[in-house]
């Protein structure tokens, strides 16, 4: 299964502590954060040759570090997370590199989040549910900074709520599996959550898989400061 890692974020909130690097290249214990994300995918069964980095801001830094091992593709302009996935899919088709196998699905991972999940189980649930989109979910004590998700008894996602709710709840863990049928719905420009996932939630074909596991989002200085301790054994 191919895994597209979204690496194009500007990382504006981290500029004070990581001023000259794309957010995914923020150093943690002497290595880029992105290296932990890639190694985790490989550890959980994704072939290194099936990982594609979707690059944007300061893409040369990412390419210089990873291009000898990993496919790195640069957006021609800022396309948004949804547009970036659409662009990568088109480029892989153009280059004859898109192989979705018999299962017809692919993975997308946020490059600024680390989530330790059993990918084989996640894929099994996706296929068992006949989902068009599956989202790995984690429970946190305060959802204010994250996209909050609500599910029914069958783990079908019924609502995606914007940031701002301080209560405990389930959030989007930044790891997805998509069925190939959604490729035609990917925009040339647009946001993954608002422009792609929400319309499919309305259709009743988006499911959540819940994990009690290591989750880290380095989007703000406070959470980035926690990364060295959390990832020291990874």
Q: What is the pLDDT of residues 86-140, one digit of tens each?
A: 999 999 999 998 989 889 999 999 999 999 999 999 999 999 999 999 999 999 9
- Kindly state the tokens that stand for 14: 């981290």
| Distance from C-alpha of 138 to C-alpha of 209, rounded to nearest angstrom | 8
- Kindly state the tokens that stand for 56: 């944007």
Mean pLDDT of the chain: 93
Phi and psi at residue 199, in whole multiples of 5°? -60, -35
Flag whether pLDDT at 16 surpasses 90: no
Q: What is the pLDDT of residue 202?
A: 95
Q: What is the pLDDT of residue 234?
A: 63
Strand residue runs (E) in 125-225: 133-140, 148-151, 157-161, 169-179, 206-211, 215-217
| Distance from C-alpha of 193 to C-alpha of 201, rounded to nearest angstrom | 10
Look at the block and give the residue holding tokens 């946001």: 191
Q: Which of 115-124, 175-184, 197-206, 212-221 has the lowest mean pLDDT?
A: 212-221
Residue 98 CB neighbour total at 10 angstroms: 17
Q: What is the dihedral of CA 91, 95, 97, 101, to 10 degrees?
A: 80
**Domain made up of 3-231: CATH architecture:** Alpha-Beta Complex (3.90)
Q: How far, rounded to the nearest angstrom, does the alpha carbon of residue 103 sit from its chain's CA centroid?
A: 20
Q: What is the pLDDT of residue 17?
A: 77
Flag whether pLDDT at 11 surpasses 70: no
| Distance from C-alpha of 88 to C-alpha of 129, rounded to nearest angstrom | 26
Per DSSP bridges, beta strands 3-7 and 51-55 are: parallel
State the average pLDDT over residues 26-35: 94
Flag whether pLDDT at 12 surpasses 80: no
Percent of the chain topping pLDDT 90 = 78
Q: What is the pLDDT of residue 67?
A: 82
Q: Which of 102-111, 146-155, 157-166 has the lowest mean pLDDT?
A: 157-166
Whole-Å CA distances, 153 to 23, 53, 123, 157, 192: 37, 35, 19, 10, 25
Which residues have C-beta within 8 Å of that of residue 37, sequence separation ≥ 6? 5, 24, 109, 111, 113, 114
pTM: 0.95
Flag whether pLDDT at 217 surpasses 70: yes
Per DSSP bridges, beta strands 148-151 and 157-161 are: antiparallel
Q: How confident is the model at residue 233 (pLDDT cuts 50, 70, 90)?
A: low
Q: What is the pLDDT of residue 163?
A: 79
What SS3 class is residue 178? Answer: strand
Q: Do the Cβ atoms of 4 and 82 come closer than 8 Å?
A: no
């Amino acid at each position: 299964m191919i895994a597209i890692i979204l690496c194009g974020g500007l990382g504006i909130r981290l500029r004070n502590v990581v001023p000259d690097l794309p957010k995914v290249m923020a150093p943690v214990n002497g290595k880029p954060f992105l290296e932990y994300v890639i190694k985790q995918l490989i550890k959980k069964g994704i072939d290194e040759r099936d990982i594609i980095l979707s690059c944007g801001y300061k893409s040369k830094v990412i390419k210089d570090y990873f291009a000898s091992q990993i496919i790195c593709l640069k957006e021609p302009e800022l396309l948004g997370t949804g547009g970036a996935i659409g662009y990568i899919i088109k480029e892989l088709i153009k280059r004859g590199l898109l192989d979705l196998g018999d299962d017809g699905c692919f993975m997308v991972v946020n490059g600024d989040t680390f989530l330790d999940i059993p990918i084989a189980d996640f894929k099994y649930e996706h296929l068992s549910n006949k989902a068009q989109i599956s989202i790995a979910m984690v429970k946190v004590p305060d959802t204010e900074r994250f996209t909050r998700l609500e599910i029914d008894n069958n783990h079908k996602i019924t609502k995606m709520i914007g940031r701002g709710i301080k209560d405990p709840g389930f959030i989007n863990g930044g790891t997805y599996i998509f069925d190939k049928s959604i490729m035609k719905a990917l925009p040339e420009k647009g946001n993954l959550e608002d422009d792609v996932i929400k319309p499919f939630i309305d259709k009743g074909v988006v499911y959540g898989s819940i994990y009690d596991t290591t989750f880290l989002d380095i989007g703000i200085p406070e959470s980035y400061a926690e990364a060295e301790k959390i990832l020291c054994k990874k």
